[in-house]
Amino acid sequence: MDIASMSIAEISGLIDDKPYRGKQIFSWLHNRQVTSFESMTDLPKPLREKLKQSFSIGTDIKKLESVQSADQTTKYLFKLENNTIIESVYMNYRFGGSVCVSTQAGCRMGCIFCASGKGGFERNLMPSEICGQVYAIQHEKAHISHVVLMGCGEPLDNYNNVVKFISLISNENGQGLSRRAITVSTCGLVPQITKLADEMLPITLAVSLHAPNDSVREYLVPVAKAYPLTELLQACKYYTDKTKRQITFEYAMINGVNDSLSHAIELARRLKGTLSHINLIRLNETEFSGLRASTNETVWRFADSLNNHSIKTTVRRSLGSDINAACGQLRNRQR
């Protein structure tokens, strides 16, 4: 059993020791972020021995490789239990260190431009394995103030572990990360968006929209066949009504596919009145899709058109493209 995926109450319930031990062990795991029971030096030796016999520590992940780009973005490959390989990215912003974590090894969603699912789906990551990516990188770099769930995998397809991860990493006896500094990105799983709204977490939800209508969206993001745009936008409205938190719509600009001015106008019409903001990003080109990124000029024209239609739009700076930092690219090279 993985003790680093447990809450304080769960640990206390299992170890049958003094009442404060659960909190003490949790704090070793998530505040001091140790990855062995031997390091928990203020626990009695027999207890450390007993813990070692009964539990594993899922935050104990092994770094295989890291590559740093000119802008300090660093891509990591980690090995987890059963030789599962995942990747994470460190980004250095003015406001502090940010980590982009994976939530699954592989992915089931099959978006045509994305490298994450190309090798198929392997498994869900445990809450501790998501925490472990942040801790390992923090250990090597600097204090991490922001976490984005935008690495490999679909966070809402690993719903329970992702919600548990948020509660572990934000716990004041651990990392104590502000939930406002956490962004969860989804390709648009409607039932889970509704469920997440009901959790009332003050996190940021990002929705990978990538298209102004169902036919373009179905081509790029196959899951759109199950959840048409009207339903998706209704779920987003439910989310913003409930949480009062603005949604970020992500939109990868792909040459000749979703980047015309009529697409911009169609998009503006669809999103009018929603509590949201659009983040445009030029497609990160991968060899398998054959798709090309829009030109910078097209991206800015598209952004201007949306802004002129009163849809708040920004263009995302793409970090780390010189080191294959786009979703899933480094992991694929390894396999």
Active site residues: 87, 327
273 phi and psi, to 5 degrees?
Answer: 85, -5
In the bound state with ligand SAH, the residue whose beta carbon lies nearer, of 104 and 175, is 104
CB of 241 to ligand SAH, least distance (A): 22
CA distance 80 to 295: 39
Window 158-187: contact mask with ligand SAH (x via CB under 6 A): ---------------------------xxx
CB of 82 to ligand SAH, least distance (A): 22
CB of 280 to ligand SAH, least distance (A): 10
In the bound state with ligand SAH, the residue whose beta carbon lies nearer, of 150 and 323, is 150
CB of 198 to ligand SAH, least distance (A): 20
252 in contact with ligand SAH (CB under 6 A): yes
Tally of CB atoms within 10 A around 62:
13
138 phi and psi, to 5 degrees?
Answer: -60, -40
Report the relative pairing of strands 62-68 and 74-79 from DSSP bridges: antiparallel
Window 32-71: contact mask with ligand SAH (x via CB under 6 A): ----------------------------------------
CA distance 215 to 203: 30
In the bound state with ligand SAH, the residue whose beta carbon lies nearer, of 3 and 114, is 114
75 by DSSP, 3-state: which? Answer: strand
Task: Using the structure block, give the residue that is written with the tokens 């659009």.
Answer: 278
Q: How many CA atoms lie within 13 A of 291 on its CB side?
A: 23
CA distance 62 to 136: 9
Using the rule CB under 6 A, which residue among 128, 250, 268, 298 binds ligand SAH? Answer: 250
Using the rule CB under 6 A, which residue among 211, 281, 319, 323 binds ligand SAH? Answer: 281
114 in contact with ligand SAH (CB under 6 A): yes
Using the rule CB under 6 A, which residue among 208, 243, 248, 258 binds ligand SAH? Answer: 208
Q: By CB under 6 A, which span of 12-20, 32-40, 211-219, 281-289 interacts with ligand SAH?
A: 281-289
Report the relative pairing of strands 121-124 and 104-106 from DSSP bridges: antiparallel
113 in contact with ligand SAH (CB under 6 A): yes
In the bound state with ligand SAH, the residue whose beta carbon lies nearer, of 274 and 332, is 332
Task: Using the structure block, give the residue that is written with the tokens 């780390």.
Answer: 320
In the bound state with ligand SAH, the residue whose beta carbon lies nearer, of 27 and 208, is 208
* Alpha-carbon distances, residue 226 vs 40, 82, 187, 190, 193 (angstroms): 48, 33, 12, 9, 14
In the bound state with ligand SAH, the residue whose beta carbon lies nearer, of 35 and 158, is 158
CA distance 173 to 182: 18
Torsion sign, CA atoms 303, 116, 203, 244? positive
Residues in the site for ligand SAH, rule: CB under 6 A?
Answer: 109, 111, 113-114, 150, 154, 185-187, 208, 250, 252, 281, 283-284, 286, 326-327
